[in-house]
């Protein structure tokens, strides 16, 4: 993922009230069910930081998150980077009401290039990952 590439934007509609979608994005117990099962803690508060590892093939990615903006039931922004790897980004989850549904728009904006030689940092991998989380995993969570 490169600064020079367009932002990544994924949009999904859920037949859920905004409060339920917000809860799925901000309650660590719910996040563990559809997002990352090893998130140690999470608070939708500006300045909150957390870290956790995800293994992919033979690589360990220590995720470093810091919340930089919160508008309850509307928007949460995370600074998202990885310990030991070049690269920095902001991930925005934005909620809006559309008819009787909640629309979630996820935006990933790269502010420092990620390494070219790591498959997980390629644009296509990022898009595939967000599509899985937003369009499949979170959708399946709401169908339970």
DSSP assignment letter at 116: T
Neighbours of 125 (CB within 10 A): 14
Give the single-character DSSP code of 125. Answer: H
Is the pLDDT confidence value at 56 over 90?
no
Task: Using the structure block, give the residue that is written with the tokens 């810091």.
Answer: 66
Q: How confident is the model at residue 94 (pLDDT cuts 50, 70, 90)?
A: very high
Q: Indicate the pTM of the whole model.
A: 0.94
Number of C-beta neighbours around residue 131 at 10 A: 15
Residue 58's pLDDT is: 84
Domains in the chain (CATH in brackets) are 8-143 (3.30.530.20)
Q: How far apart are CA 54 and CA 38, in angstroms?
A: 8
pLDDT, one tens digit per residue, over 102-120 is 999 999 999 999 999 999 9
């Amino acid at each position: 993922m490169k600064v020079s590439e367009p932002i990544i934007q994924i949009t999904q509609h859920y037949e859920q009230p905004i409060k339920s979608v917000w809860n799925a994005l901000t309650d660590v117990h719910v996040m563990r069910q559809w997002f990352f099962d090893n998130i140690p803690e999470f608070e939708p508060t500006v300045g909150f930081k957390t870290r956790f590892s995800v293994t992919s093939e033979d690589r360990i990615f220590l995720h470093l998150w810091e919340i930089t903006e919160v508008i309850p039931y509307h928007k949460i922004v995370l600074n998202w980077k990885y310990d030991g790897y070049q690269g920095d980004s902001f991930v925005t989850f934005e909620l809006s009401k559309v008819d009787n549904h909640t629309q979630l728009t996820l935006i990933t904006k790269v502010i420092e290039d990620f390494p070219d030689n790591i498959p997980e940092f390629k644009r296509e991998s990022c898009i595939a990952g967000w599509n899985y989380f937003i369009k499949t995993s979170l959708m399946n969570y709401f169908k339970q």
